[in-house]
Amino acid sequence: MSDIAPTPVVRLSDAAIRRRMLAEFWFYFRQNRGAVAGLFVFILLVLIAVFAPLLAPHDPTMQYRDALLVPPAWQEGGRAAFPLGTDAVGRDMLSRLIYGAQYSLFIGIVVVAIALIGGVILGLLAGYFGGWVDTVIMRVMDVILAFPSLLLALVLVAVLGPGLTNAMIAIAIVYQPHFARLTRAAVMSEMKREYVTAARVAGAGNLRLMFKTILPNCLAPLIVQATLSFSSAVLDSAALGFLGMGAQPPAPEWGTMLAEAREFILRAWWVVTFPGLAILISVLAINLMGDGLRDALDPKLKRS
Amino acid sequence: MVRFILSKLLYLVPTFLGITIIAFSFVRILPGDPVLLMAGERGVTPERHAELSAQLGYDKPVVMQYFDFLGRLMHGDFGNSLVTKKPVLTEFMALFPATVELGLCAIIIATLIGVPVGVLAAIKRGSWFDQISMTTALVGFSMPIFWWGLLLIIFFSGILGWTPVSGRISLLYFFPNVTGFMLIDSLLSGQKGAFTSALSHLILPSVVLATIPLAVIARQTRSAMLEVMGEDYVRTARAKGMPPSRVIGVHALRNAMIPVITTIGLQIGVLMAGAILTETIFSWPGIGKWMIDSIARRDYPVVQSGLLLIAALVMVVNLLVDLTYGLINPRIRNK
C-alpha cells in the first residue's frame, strides 16, 4: 500500500509555455553582453529610421548652395546648422545618415523576407519529398552557390537594370540557397522523429505536416541565419550602391553616399568617414545580436 | 581514394552545366536585340541584321544555340569582347595574375595572423586577449571593405604619404612580364627600387582584401581549438604529463587544423567578391575591376564568359579543398 499522493498534473496554457520559453531564451541571450549591446544599438537604429522625419534637421536631398563641403561643426569652418558637415552639393550629412537608416533596415527586411520564404519553401519541398524533387532543387541551389555572391548579384542587377528594387531581388536570390539548405537538413532530421509519424498516422495531410508539424521545429537555425543574412544584406546592398548598381542618387543610401564621396576622400574626410561608420555600426550590431541568438537558440552550445 | 575523387568529379558535372546555363541565359534575358546592341548607335539595315543574326547563330532555336555555345566552350572559345575585339580568354589570362597575386597575399596575411590569434584566444579563453581579439574579429567580419580601403588611403596615402593610391607599380619601372606576378617580375628585372615599389602598391589592397578572411579564420580557429581541447585524447596527453606546448602544438593544433584548412580554402569565393571591391578602389588591373568595367560598358560577352570562368575557378578550388579534406581526414573519404 503506497501512501504517496499522486503528483498533481500542472497544465500550462499555451501562452504560459510561450512565456516560459521566452524567459529561458532571454536568460541565455542576456549572458552575452555583446549581444545585448547589439540589440540596444539595433533598437536605436529602428527608432532612428522610424522617426527620421522628426529627427533630421534638414531635408536629406535639400542642396544648400552656400554650404558646399562644410566640415563638421567642431572643426574650423564648421557651422552649427550642419553638425556633421555637408557633402559636395551642400546636403546635410546628418540628415542623410538618419534617412539612410531607413534604407538599410528596409533592404535588410525585404531581402531576408524574400530569401527566407523562398528558401524555406524550396527546402521543405526538397527535404519532405526527397527523390528527384530533392535532387533538382538542391542542384539548382548548388549552381547558385557556385558563384561568388556579390558577383552574381552584380550580374543579376546588370540584367535587371540598376536600382534598389532590383538590387534587393538579386541579393535575395543569391541568399536563398542558404535557407533552402538549412531547412532541408532540419526537415530531414525531423522527418525521422516519432511525432511526425504520429501526426501522419493521425491523418495529417502533406501541407499540414510540412508547415504546421515540421516547420516550427526547424526554426532555430533559420532565425540565426536570418540575422546573419540581414547584416550581409545591409553590407552587400551598400557595396552594390557603392559600385553604382544599387540605390541611385540622390537617395541617401549609405553605400551610394560613399560612391559620391569617393572623389573627395583627400579633401573632405567627413563625407567618406560617416556613411561607412554608419554601415559598420549597423552591421556589427546585427552580427553581435546574431552571435547571441545562436548561443541562446543552439542547445549544443548552451551547455559548453 | 580514387573512388572518392571520381565521385566528387561526377558531382561537379551537373553544377558546371548549371553554371553554363546561367551564363548562357544571361545574355538571352537581357532586354534588347543582341545584334542591335553590337551594331551600336549606327543601326543596321534589315538585310545586314539577318546576315549578322545568321552569322552569330541567333536565328536558330534557343536549345540549339545553347549547344553551339557549349561546343565553342569545349574548344576554348569564350567569345570576343565587344569593346576591344580581343578574345575574352586572352584578356582574362592577361589580368588573372594580378588578381591571383592580390588574393594570395591576402590569404597569406589572413592565415599568418588569423591562425595564431585564434589558437592563442582559445588557449587563454576568457582572458582580455581573447575578448579583445574576438571583438576585433567581429568588427573585421562586419567591415564594409570598400569603406575600409578608402580610410586606409586617406590615412596612409593622404596623411602619411607612405603608399601610392592606385595601380600595381610606379610608371618609372618597366620590365618584361615573365610570371605575371609583379613582386617576382620586379625582383627578376634587377632594377633598383622596383620591388619596393611593387610591394608598396600591393600592401594596402592585400590588407583590405585580407580583412574579412582574417576575421573568419581567427574565429574558426578559436572554435575548432576549443572543441578539440575538450576531447579525451587531449586530456589523456595532459594527464600523461606531456608539456603543454606539445599538447597544444601536436595533439590539439593538428586536429583543429582540419576544419581551419577547409575554412581557408572556402575563402576563395569571399576573395573573389572582395576583389571586385578592392580592385575598384585601388584601380588594381585584375579580374574584379575588369568585370565591373565590362558591366558598366555593357560588354556582354566579357560579362558572360567572365562570370563563367570565375565560377568554374571557384568550383575547381572548392573541389581541391574537398579533396585535401579527404586526404587529411580518412573518415570523410570512406563515407
Burial B37-72 (b: 16+ CB within 10 A, else e): eeeeeeebeeeebeebbeeeebeeeeeebbeebeee
For residue B79, name the pLDDT band (cuts at 50, 70, 90).
confident
CA distances from B218 to A239, B93, B118, B122, B176 (A): 24, 33, 4, 10, 39
Residue of A143, A144, A175 to mutate, interface with B, max B Cβ within 10 Å:
A143
Nearest CA in chain B to A237: B144
| Rounded distance between C-alpha atoms, residue A104 and residue A9, angstroms | 49
DSSP state of A67: -
Pick B144's closest partner by Cβ from A143, A146, A279: A279
The reply to whether residue A34 touches residue B151, judged by beta carbons under 8 angstroms, is: no
CB B332 within 8 A of CB B261: no
Where in the sequence is the domain holding A121, given as residue range(s)?
Answer: 98-301
- Angstroms from B279 CA to nearest CA on chain A: 12
Q: How much is the average pLDDT of B264-269? A: 83
Least Cα distance to A279 among B290, B9, B148 occurs for: B148
**pLDDT(A282) > 80:** yes
Report in angstroms the alpha-carbon separations of A264 from A14, A88, A97.
59, 8, 18
List chain A residues with CB under 8 Å of B269.
148-149
Tell me the chain B residues in contact with residue A42 when contact means C-beta distances shorter than 8 Å. none
Whether the predicted pLDDT of A256 surpasses 60? yes
* Cross-strand pairs, B87: B80
What are the φ and ψ backbone dihedral angles of B87, each rounded to 5 degrees? -60, 140
Contact criterion met (CB below 8 Å) for A61 and A95: no
pLDDT band at A302 (very low <50, low <70, confident <90, very high): very low
Cβ of A152 under 8 Å from any chain B Cβ? yes
Q: Are B101 and B56 in contact (CB under 8 A)?
A: no
User: For residue A57, is it within any domain?
Assistant: no
Residue B175: half-sphere exposure toward Cβ, Cα within 13 Å: 23
What's the mean pLDDT in A167-173? 92
Cα(A74)–Cα(A83) distance, rounded to whole angstroms? 8
> A204 by DSSP, 3-state: which?
coil
Tell me if A158 and B303 make a contact (CB, 8 A cut-off).
Answer: yes
Residues of B in Cβ contact (< 8 Å) with A235? 142, 144
> Is A295 touching B (CB cutoff 8 A)?
no
| Residue contact B18–A304, C-beta within 8 A | no
Contacts of A34 in chain B (CB under 8 A): 135, 138
Q: Express the helix, strand and coil content of chain A in percent, nearest 5 each.
A: 75, 0, 25
Distance between CA atoms of residues B54 and B33, nearest Å = 14
Q: Is B26 on the interface with A (CB under 8 A)?
A: yes
Measured CA to CA, the distance from residue A214 to residue A205 in angstroms comes to 12
Tell me the average pLDDT across B29-57. Answer: 69
Instruction: Identify whether A283 is part of a domain.
Output: yes
Looking at the predicted structure, is the pLDDT value of residue B148 above 50? Answer: yes
> Which among A142, A146, A150 has the least Cβ separation from residue B276?
A150
Please count the structural domains in chain A: 1
Contacts of residues A129-135 at CB distance under 8 Å and 24 or more positions apart, as own/partner, are A134/A184
* 3 state SS for chain B: CHHHHHHHHHHHHHHHHHHHHHHHHHHHHCCCCHHHHHHHHHCCCHHHHHHHHHHHCCCCCHHHHHHHHHHHHHCCCCCECCCCCCEHHHHHHHHHHHHHHHHHHHHHHHHHHHHHHHHHHHHCCCCHHHHHHHHHHHHHHCCCHHHHHHHHHHHHHHHCCCCCCCCCCCCCCCCCCCCCCHHHHHHHHCCCCHHHHHHHHHHHHHHHHHHHHHHHHHHHHHHHHHHHHCCHHHHHHHHCCCCHHHHHHHHHHHHHHHHHHHHHHHHHHHHHHHHHHHHHHCCCCCHHHHHHHHHHHCCHHHHHHHHHHHHHHHHHHHHHHHHHHHHHCHHHHCC
What residues in A contact B15, CB-CB < 8 Å?
139, 142-143, 146
Distances (CA, A) of B25 to B20, B31, B75, B103, B150: 8, 12, 20, 30, 36
| Cell (9 digits) for B258 | 582540419
% of residues, chain A, pLDDT over 70: 94
Quote the CA–CA distance of A158 and B302 in Å, as a whole number. Answer: 13
d(CA A87, nearest CA chain B) in Å? 16
Find the closest chain B residue to A228 by CA distance: B142
Does any domain span residue A47?
no
A4 by DSSP, 3-state: which? coil
Interface test with B, best of A147, A274, A291 (most B CBs within 10 A): A147
Across B65-78, average pLDDT: 85
Give φ, ψ of B127 to 5 degrees.
-75, 175
Residue A81 maps to a domain: no
Question: For chain B, first and last CA: distance in Å?
Answer: 11
**What would the grid cell of residue B302 be?**
566579357
Contacts of A255 in chain B (CB under 8 A): 144, 146
The answer to whether residue A214 sits within a structural domain is yes
In this complex, which of A148, A239, A291 lies closest to B146 when CB atoms are compared? Answer: A239
What are the chain B neighbours of A265 within 8 Å (beta carbons)?
Answer: 150, 153-154, 158
Instruction: Write the single-letter amino acid at B140.
Output: G
Q: What is the mean pLDDT of residues A1-8?
A: 61
Q: Does A39 reside within a domain? A: no
Contacts of A291 in chain B (CB under 8 A): 138
Does residue A249 fall inside a structural domain?
Answer: yes
Question: Which of A15-29, A174-188, B34-48, B298-312 bottoms out in mean pLDDT, i.e. has the lowest?
Answer: B34-48
Chain mean position to CA B237: 39
Question: If contacts are CB pairs under 8 Å, which of residues 218-277 in chain B contact chain A?
Answer: 226, 230, 269-270, 272-273, 276-277
Which residue in B18, B138, B276 is closest to A151 by CB distance? B276
Q: Which residue of A has its CA nearest to B157?
A: A266
Q: Rounded to 5 degrees, what are φ and ψ at B64?
A: -60, -40
Say if CB B160 and CB B153 are below 8 A apart.
Answer: no
**Of B93, B292, B287, B276, which Cα lies nearest the Cα of B177?**
B93
Are B278 and B284 contacting, i.e. CB atoms less than 8 angstroms apart? yes
Q: How confident is the model at residue B116 (pLDDT cuts 50, 70, 90)?
A: very high
Beta bridge partners of A92: A86
- C-alpha cell recorded at residue A302: 548552451
Local structure of A12: helix, strand or coil: coil
Distance CA B211, CA B109 (A): 9
**pTM for the model:** 0.87
Lowest mean pLDDT among B140-144, B147-151, B263-267: B263-267
Cell of B160: 602619411
Is B132 an interface residue toward A (CB < 8 Å)?
A: no
A86, β-bridge pairs:
A92
Q: Enter the DSSP assignment of A156.
A: H
Q: In DSSP terms, which residues pair with B80 in a beta bridge?
A: B87
Q: Is residue A33 part of a domain?
A: no
| Cβ-defined contact of B310 to A151 (cutoff 8 Å) | yes
Average pLDDT (A125-144) is 90
* Nearest-by-CA chain A residue for B302: A155
Query: Where residue A9 falls among pLDDT bands split at 50, 70, 90?
Result: low
In whole angstroms, give the CA distance from residue B149 to residue B275. 12
> How many angstroms separate the CA of residue A1 from the nearest CA in chain B?
48
Widest pairwise Cα distance in chain A: 97
Please give the residue of chain A at the shortest CA–CA distance from B141. A284
Q: What CATH number should be reported for the domain holding residue A258? A: 1.10.3720.10
* DSSP tag of A1: -
- The answer to whether residue A143 neighbours chain B at the CB level (below 8 Å) is yes
Mutation to test the A interface, candidates B150, B163, B316, most A Cβ within 10 Å? B150
Which of B92, B146, B156 to mutate to test binding with chain A, by most A CBs within 10 Å of its CB? Answer: B146
* Grid cell locating A70: 562644410
pLDDT at B39: 65
Does A288 lie at the interface with B, CB-CB under 8 angstroms? yes
Looking at chain A, the whole-number percentage of residues with pLDDT higher than 90 is 38
Helices A14-31 + A269-297 axis angle, to 10: 120
Q: Do A146 and B142 touch (CB under 8 A)?
A: no
Taking phi over 0 as left and psi of -120 to 50 as alpha, with beta for the rest, B61 belongs to beta
Contacts of B139 in chain A (CB under 8 A): 280, 284
Peptide bond into A250 cis (omega under 30): yes
Chain A CB contacts of B26 under 8 Å are: 155, 159
Instruction: Please choose, from the candidates A261, A257, A162, the residue with its C-alpha nearest in 3D space to the C-alpha of residue B292.
Output: A162
The answer to whether the CB atoms of A262 and B307 lie below 8 A apart is no
Q: What percent of chain B has pLDDT over 70?
A: 93
Task: Determine the residue of chain A that is closest to B151 in CA distance.
Answer: A273
Mean pLDDT of chain B: 84
pLDDT in tens, A175-194: 999 999 999 988 988 888 88
Residue A304 has pLDDT above 50, yes or no: no
Chain B neighbors of A266, CB-CB under 8 A: 153-154, 157-158
Distance in angstroms (rounded) separating the CA atoms of residues B259 and B278: 27
